[in-house]
Amino acid sequence: MSGDARPEVAAWNGLVDALRTAGDKLAADTADLDPAEQADGLRALVRGLSNQLSRLEIDRERPELVPFNGWRHKFLMDNPDFRYWVTEVRGDRTYRIRGNRGDASYLSVTVYKRTGGIGSEATARIDSDAIGFDDDDGFEIVVGGTAPGAGDWLDLPERSGAIWVRFFHGDVARDELGWCSIEPVVEPPVPPSIDPDRFTSALGTLAATTSMLPTIFEISTKDDLDPPNTLRHWSEMAGGAVFTEPGIHYVRGGWQLEPDQALVIEGDTVECRYWNILAYSRFLNSLDFRYRPVSYTGATATVVDGRYRFVVAAEDPGVGDWIDSEGRDFGIVVMRFLQPTDTPPLPSVRVVQLHELRGE
């Protein structure tokens, strides 16, 4: 069989072609941007590839819960105030998830089925309201099969194939972080050292997802520019689309600022289990949370008489909670409200000159 006719070679070449095509589209889409944004687009592509590579060799018989949102592999609206663990499973198997919540204020385990492309639908979930924790905050959940007579159990409905575990942290820099692991209840037989068909299929999936990223970046940010400097309810994220948490209400908008301008976001808090605000690039990567103030939670934000005030700017204005824009003229702000008792009121948004803000 010639090299071109071999399935794994064809899949490999497809991946290489997808990377080149995606890079070419990003280069064209960012041609009018400054050099930093141009480079950042390709960095976002590499990070997305790295994220997918961390889960490439999936064994659904012996799944592993893999950390999802490290800074080197940010991917499609990562959230550094959460800790995500992700795995792929078989719907006809039974697994056991063990872990510890640490200082997480909330924990959820959600099962999804894919609905085409990168879309998904949540099919089953259990959260920290129902999970039985031991005295040390440890937990154990049986997933799939028949419900046991005692203990926590999560169903694996038909066509379900992915599990996400989320730890919601109020102060991720100081909290003890939660963790989890998964194992099959019945030990499966030793697998072959490599399954050529499975490997070839995985390369094809990697190529398909990578090729979609530039278009996702482009389409996703259109509404944030029409018009900019406003926030809206982001209802399309309800129900687990793109592996989101079904209990979250999203508010989203984009900023478009001159170097001497700031975006002031003010509003009333709403009763909910948890909330945060986070800044993203046009490539749907969170901004540099390692060294810059780009996110706040209900535990770290300054709330006075039930009101918050965030200021998006390239430098600290000295008033309100500063969100560092990194000097980007365009970016995205997302607010997440977990299980709000009412629809969160949209905050007021205004563009001001930095020197005027400092004088307030």
Q: What is the four-CA torsion angle of 62, 169, 275, 238, rounded to 10 degrees? A: 0
Residue 235 has pLDDT above 80, yes or no: no
Please report where in the chains the tokens 């990562």 appear, as a residue: 78
Closest CA to 312 of 264, 355, 260, 347: 264
Q: What is the mean pLDDT of residues 6-29?
A: 96
The C-alpha atoms of residue 65 and residue 100 are separated, in whole angstroms, by: 14
* Long-range contacts, stretch 11-15, CB < 8 angstroms, 24+ apart: 11/200, 11/201, 11/203, 11/204, 11/207, 12/203, 14/203, 14/204, 14/207, 15/203, 15/204, 15/206, 15/207, 15/210
Tens of pLDDT, residue by residue over 179-227, are 999 999 999 999 899 999 999 999 999 999 999 999 999 988 888 888 9
* Average pLDDT of the chain, as a whole number: 92
Residue 122: helix, strand or coil by DSSP? strand
Tens of pLDDT, residue by residue over 45-72, are 999 999 999 888 888 999 999 998 889 9
Q: What is the mean pLDDT of residues 120-149?
A: 93
pLDDT number for residue 247: 86
Q: Are 266 and 347 spatial neighbours (Cβ–Cβ below 8 Å)? A: yes
Tell which wins on pLDDT, 244 or 349.
349
Cite the beta strand spans of the chain per DSSP E.
Answer: 66-67, 82-88, 95-100, 106-116, 119-127, 138-143, 152-154, 162-168, 179-184, 232-233, 248-256, 261-268, 274-280, 295-297, 303-304, 307-313, 321-324, 330-338, 348-353
Q: Are 257 and 332 spatial neighbours (Cβ–Cβ below 8 Å)? A: no
Confidence of residue 340 (pLDDT cuts 50, 70, 90): very high
Q: What is the mean pLDDT of residues 88-98?
A: 94
Is residue 303 classed exposed, middle or buried when 0-12, 13-18 and 19+ CB atoms within 10 A define those classes?
Answer: middle
* N- to C-terminal Cα separation, the chain: 75
Q: Where does residue 229 fall: left (phi above 0), alpha (psi -120 to 50 degrees), or beta otherwise?
A: left
pLDDT number for residue 324: 98
Portion of the chain with pLDDT greater than 90, in percent: 79
Portion of the chain with pLDDT greater than 70, in percent: 96
Task: Name the packing angle between helices 7-29 and 35-53 (round to 10°).
Answer: 150
pLDDT number for residue 241: 57
Q: What is the mean pLDDT of residues 317-328?
A: 94
Q: Are 277 and 301 spatial neighbours (Cβ–Cβ below 8 Å)? A: yes
pLDDT number for residue 88: 93
Residue 236 has pLDDT above 90, yes or no: no
pLDDT number for residue 120: 76
pLDDT number for residue 279: 98
